[in-house]
Structure 1
C-alpha cells in the first residue's frame, strides 16, 4: 500500500471532488504508481475525518476518470500509467465531433491558394543551396536578415548573428530551454501555463516552480518569494495572449518582472507565438530586458499551420550556445520551408495573412460573446482561444466528458496546471473549425453550463 496520503488541510467543497483531485494529481505526477493500492475506505475516512461515503464517492470519481479500478475484497488500485505528456487536444480528427480542443488559426481556400501559388513561384526561383547544401551557414544568412526585419515590426531589435531559424516555435522553445539551463536548474512559470513546459523540463532534468498569477499575468512578489526560497535561474513567460488563459500582460507588469529578473539574475525565455495577432500590443519583454531575454516566435498560430518555421533572438552571450544546441538537436531548419517564409516576408504575404486572421478572429469572438452570454470566461478579440470557467458545482473532467458525448471536444485544464490539479476551467478554440460549427459547439457548451451537473458520465 502506498505511503502517500491526501492532505486533509487541502480539502474543499465538494469534499469528494477535492479528494479525487488530490489523488488524480498524485497519479499524474508519479507519486502514486501503476498497480499501487489505495488506502481502504474506512482507514482513509478516519485519517481525514470525513465520512466513508465521501471516500467511496471520491474513489468512484477516480474510476470514472479511468485512473483506478476496484474489486470487492481486494481493494482499489491505480490503473493509470502515471506521468506523461498530456495533450490537451484530441489526437486525431474524429467524425461527428466539433473539435474545439486544439488551438489553430482559421484556414480557408484563401490559405491553400496562397500556398499553391508560392510553391509554383519557388519551383521557378529555387536556389540550388536550398536542396543541395548540407551546411546551415551557406543557406540561412539571407533568411536571418529577412527574419530580423520581421522581428523589428514586433518590437524586437536583434542582428542576423543573434538570430536562429528553427523548425517552428516548439523546436525554438526546446532549444531555448536547453541553452538557458542545465539539469537541476530551477525554472519559474505561471501556475497555469503552456502544457509542454512541465514534461519538457522533466525530460531535461530541470525543476519547475509554479508562480501565482492574476488577470495581468505572473505576480512579481510571488516570483520574488520563489527566488528567495529556491535558486531560480530561468523565467518562462508568455505575455501575449497566454496559452491557455488568454492573458495580455500590461507593460507595467512586464517592467516589474524584468526588474525582478535583473535583481535575481534570471534568464527570461519569452514565448511570443501569438504576439503578431495583437493590434496594439505592449513592448515585448525582449525590448525591456534585452540583455537577458531569449525571445522566440513563429507562423503556425498566426498565419498558416504548414509554415512551420520559428525564430529565436538572443543576447550575444547566448548566441553561440543556441546555435550549437540547434546543430545537436536538429542540425538546421528545413531549407524549403525557410525559403517559403522568406519569400512571403519579402512580398508582404505574411502581413496579409496575419491581418486576415486578426479580422476573422474578431468576427469569431462576436459569435463567442453571443453564444456564451452570461458565462464566465476570459478572452481577447484577437485570440485563438477562450478560457471558460466552470460553475463551482461542475466537475471539470465530467464536463469535458459530457461535452464529448454531445459531440464537442474541449481542452481540460489539467495538462496546463503545474500542480496537476484541475482548476475548474476549459480551453475552447475559436479557430479550429467553421464558423457555423463553432456556434453549434458553443451552444452545446452553454447548455451544459446551464444544466445541473451530471457526474454519472464516464470519462472519455
Structure 2
C-alpha cells in the first residue's frame, strides 16, 4: 500500500472528478509510482469521509484514462506501462450529448439522397468483375484511370500504374508505412499529429519520433537534425489543414522539407485527405518530390462518410511493395464502393459535393469565430475543426470532463501528441459533426467554461 493519500481539503464538486484529478496529478509527478497499490474503495471512502460510490466513480474515471487497473482478488494498481493514447472521439453518441469530438464533414439530406441514388444505379449496372472477381488487376484498371483525373484536382500528375485503391485513408496510411519502413526502423512526424499514428507505429514495430513544429507545421531544421542523428526511414506529414492544429504549410516550407528528405534519402508519406477541399493551397509535397512521396487521399471527409474509399499514389520505386502490402492487409479495396467513387468522379458528383462542403465549412467556421470571439484559437476557413489552446491554469482532462458534464463532448489534445516535449493543454472541436443549432450550443458551453473561474465552476456543479 502506498503512503500517499489524497487531501480531503482540496476536494471540490463534483467530488469524484476532483478526487480523480488528485490521483492523476500524483501519478504524473511520481508521488504514485507504477505498480503502487491503491486503497480499497471502502477504506478510502472512510479516510476521506466520502461515499463508497464517489470513490468508485473516481476509480472508474482513472481506469477510463488508462492510469490504473483493477485485478480481481488483488486490488487496484497504478498501471506499470504507459497506456495507449486515448481516442479523441466518443465511441458512440450517448444520450443528449452534443458530440463535437469526432471529425466529420457537414452532412444533410442531400448526401443521403446522393448515396441512395448511387446505390440504385449500382444495383442496375453492377459489373461482373466488381461482383465476382478476386483479382485487383481485373477489377480496377478503369478505376485507376479515373483516379488519375481526381488526383489532377488534388494538384498531381500521375500514371494509373502508380495508383492503388484503398478502403479509406487509414488503410492507405498502413500500407504506406509498411512499404517504406520495416520493423525496427525509425520514422518521424509532426509533434502534434494523427491520433492513430502512435499505436499504428507500435503495432508495426516502428520507432516514432515527434519533431518540433511552428504555425506552419514541421520545422525543416528539426527534420535535418534528427536525420543527422538517427537513421530515419520515413517522414509522415499532414501539411494541409487536416492536422490537429489546422495549419496550412506554405510552398517554401514544403520545398525545404522535400530538400532535406532528398539529401538523406528518406521516404515521405503525405496524408492529404481533404485534397481539393482546401482552396488556394500550395502544391502537394508529392508534386515537389514525386520520386519519394507516397500520397494518401480519400473521399470520406469531403463527400459522404459512408464512401470509405481512397487513393494511394506511390513512386515507381515503391509500386511493387505497396501492391504486396495491400494484398496481405486488405487484399483489395471494396469493389462496389470503388464503383460509386469512380462514377462520382466521372459524372461530377464528387466535385459537386466538395464545393458544397467548402461552402458549409465556411459557414461553420464563421459560427465558431462569432461564438469564440476574442478567444485565441486556430482554424482554417475550409477546415473541419478548431484547435483551442487552454489557459495554463486549466487541466486538459478536467476541462474535457467538465464539458461532458454539461453535455458536450470535445477531443482532448493529448490524443494527438507524438513528441515528449513540454505540452500545452488544448482541445480539438469538430465543426461538422452536428447541426448548426447544436454547434452553437456546444461552442457556447465551451466558451463559458473558458471564461469561468475553475474553482467557482467546480463548486457550481
TM-score bracket, normalised by the shorter chain, equals 0.7 to 0.9
Matches within 5 A, 1:55-454: 65-66=62-63, 67-68=67-68, 77-78=77-78, 82-84=82-84, 86-419=86-419, 423-454=424-455
Residue 129 and residue 300 in structure 1: after superposition, are their counterparts in 2 closer, same or farther (change >3 A)? same
What do the CA deviations read for 1:336-368 (whole angstroms, capped 9, x no partner)? Answer: 000000110110000000000000000011100
Q: Any idea what SS the aligned residue of 1:377 has?
A: coil
What do the CA deviations read for 1:60-95 (whole angstroms, capped 9, x no partner)? Answer: x9996452599xxx9994058742352110100111
TM-score by length of 2: 0.84
Q: Distance in 1 between matches of 2:230 and 2:242?
A: 25
**Which runs of at least 4 in structure 1 moved beyond 3 Å after TM superposition?**
17-27, 35-38, 61-66, 74-77, 79-82, 419-422, 454-458
Q: Distance in 1 between matches of 2:69 and 2:194?
A: 31
Q: Which stretches in structure 2 are left out of the alignment for 5+ residues?
A: 3-20, 39-57
Report deviation, 1:457: 6.2
Q: Distance in 2 between matches of 1:243 and 1:182?
A: 25
Q: Distance in 1 between matches of 2:416 and 2:438?
A: 25
My pick for the range that moved more, 394-403 or 80-89, is: 80-89
Report deviation, 1:123: 1.5
Matched residue pairs, number? 415
- Contact 1:389 1:425 survives alignment (8 Å): yes
- Contact 1:241 1:275 survives alignment (8 Å): no
Residue 130 and residue 161 in structure 1: after superposition, are their counterparts in 2 closer, same or farther (change >3 A)? same
Residue 124 and residue 400 in structure 1: after superposition, are their counterparts in 2 closer, same or farther (change >3 A)? same
Residue 449 and residue 149 in structure 1: after superposition, are their counterparts in 2 closer, same or farther (change >3 A)? same
My pick for the range that moved more, 293-302 or 116-125, is: 116-125
Partner in structure 2 of residue 53 of structure 1: none
- Contact 1:133 1:139 survives alignment (8 Å): yes
Q: Any idea what SS the aligned residue of 2:454 has?
A: coil
Matches within 5 A, 1:5-84: 23-24=27-28, 33=34, 35-36=35-36, 65-66=62-63, 67-68=67-68, 77-78=77-78, 82-84=82-84
Residue 123 and residue 69 in structure 1: after superposition, are their counterparts in 2 closer, same or farther (change >3 A)? closer
Q: Distance in 1 between matches of 2:374 and 2:439?
A: 18
Residue 22 and residue 327 in structure 1: after superposition, are their counterparts in 2 closer, same or farther (change >3 A)? farther
- Contact 1:144 1:160 survives alignment (8 Å): yes
Q: Any idea what SS the aligned residue of 2:377 has?
A: strand
Residue 150 and residue 75 in structure 1: after superposition, are their counterparts in 2 closer, same or farther (change >3 A)? closer
Q: Which stretches in structure 1 are left out of the alignment for 5+ residues?
A: 3-16, 39-60
Q: Any idea what SS the aligned residue of 1:208 has?
A: strand
- Contact 2:24 2:62 survives alignment (8 Å): no
TM-score by length of 1: 0.85
Report deviation, 1:158: 1.3
Aligned-CA RMSD value: 2.8
Residue 342 and residue 357 in structure 1: after superposition, are their counterparts in 2 closer, same or farther (change >3 A)? same
Report deviation, 1:455: 9.8
Q: Any idea what SS the aligned residue of 1:427 has?
A: strand
What do the CA deviations read for 1:98-137 (whole angstroms, capped 9, x no partner)? Answer: 0000000011110000011111112221111111111111
- Contact 2:106 2:357 survives alignment (8 Å): yes
Q: Any idea what SS the aligned residue of 2:449 has?
A: helix
Residue 343 and residue 32 in structure 1: after superposition, are their counterparts in 2 closer, same or farther (change >3 A)? farther
